[in-house]
Chain A
Amino acid sequence: EAGVAQSPRYKIIEKRQSVAFWCNPISGHATLYWYQQILGQGPKLLIQFQNNGVVDDSQLPKDRFSAERLKGVDSTLKIQPAKLEDSAVYLCASSLGDRANEKLFFGSGTQLSVL
């Protein structure tokens, strides 16, 4: 079974530039998550999709972050414009259903450095 795919693996940009991350979840998984993990901390949920609808985006900084999941499969997360404090690893995860008692499968993440 193929895992959650993310690209790029690393990205270095200057502040005020824009950046986009891509995620392809495990085939058949209805729920997709984007987490932000700052160095030394646990992952923080940014947005949760069920199929192509948003379930929770309460912690997404909507003035600069946007995400979409077209056709209920792969997803993109965009930051525009980036700030220094956005430097983090952006993790995508998926789960089969929409219940929080299901285990999440994570990709390897995109490490973003904002200079």
Chain B
Amino acid sequence: SQQGEEDPQALSIQEGENATMNCSYKTSINNLQWYRQNSGRGLVHLILIRSNEREKHSGRLRVTLDTSKKSSSLLITASRAADTASYFCATDQSNAGNMLTFGGGTRLMVKP
């Protein structure tokens, strides 16, 4: 079973708008990572946030983590057509050694 579940499963927005994707997980974690996957390609690491961090920024990306609610969000500001991809959260569970578990992903489409 997957630890993280992304919401929504699919999101369609216009270029220039902001995109927000959410990830919920079930058990306590050490850290949470977000990855992007373009169609037919492998995943690319975007950002890692540790369990003792609440917010992290990288360029147009903003990630928040709420360990009390067991959830994280990824915000992409001023979206571009090139941001069209699937976005996955991955968690490193505290009781699962070094295993990284991926969620089902959010499919983002940014229309030009």
Contacts and interface: CB of A to CB of B under 8 A. Distances in A.
Interface stretch (B14-22, B63-71, B72-80, B96-104): B96-104
Contact of B30 (A45, A100, A103, A104): A100
Interface residues of A, number: 25
Interface centre among A35, A100, A106 (most CB of B within 10 A): A100
B43 A106 contact: yes
A44 B102 contact: yes
Nearest to A55: B98
Contact of B103 (A42, A48, A93, A98): A42
B103 to A, nearest CB: 5
A105 B42 CA distance: 9
B101 to A, nearest CB: 7
A103 B45 contact: yes
Interface residues of B, number: 25
Contacts of A72: none
Given A42-B104, A55-B98, A104 B45 contact: yes
Interface string A91-105: 101000011110111
Interface of B: 2, 4, 30-31, 33, 35, 40-45, 48, 50, 88, 92, 97-105
5 contacts: A42-B4, A42-B88, A100-B98, A100-B100, A106-B44
